[in-house]
Amino acid sequence: AVKDKLRKNGSSELDSALIRYFVSGLLDTVQPPLTVPFCNSFFGLLLERQCVDALKSQHFANSRRDEIIQLINQVERRGIEARFWSSVRPMISNVKSVYSAGE
Model confidence pLDDT, tens digit, residues 31-88: 888 888 898 899 999 999 999 999 999 999 999 999 999 999 988 887 666 667 777 8
pTM of the model: 0.82
Looking at residue 7, what is its pLDDT?
Answer: 62
- CA separation for the pair 27, 66 (Å, rounded): 11
Distance, in Å, from the CA atom of 50 to the CA atom of 48, rounded to the nearest integer, reads: 6
Per-residue confidence (pLDDT) for residue 86, from 0 to 100: 78
In angstroms, rounded to a whole number, what is the distance separating the alpha carbons of residues 44 and 40? 6
| pLDDT given for residue 36 in this prediction | 85
What is residue 98's three-state secondary structure? helix
- Report yes or no: 38 and 91 within 8 Å, Cβ to Cβ: no
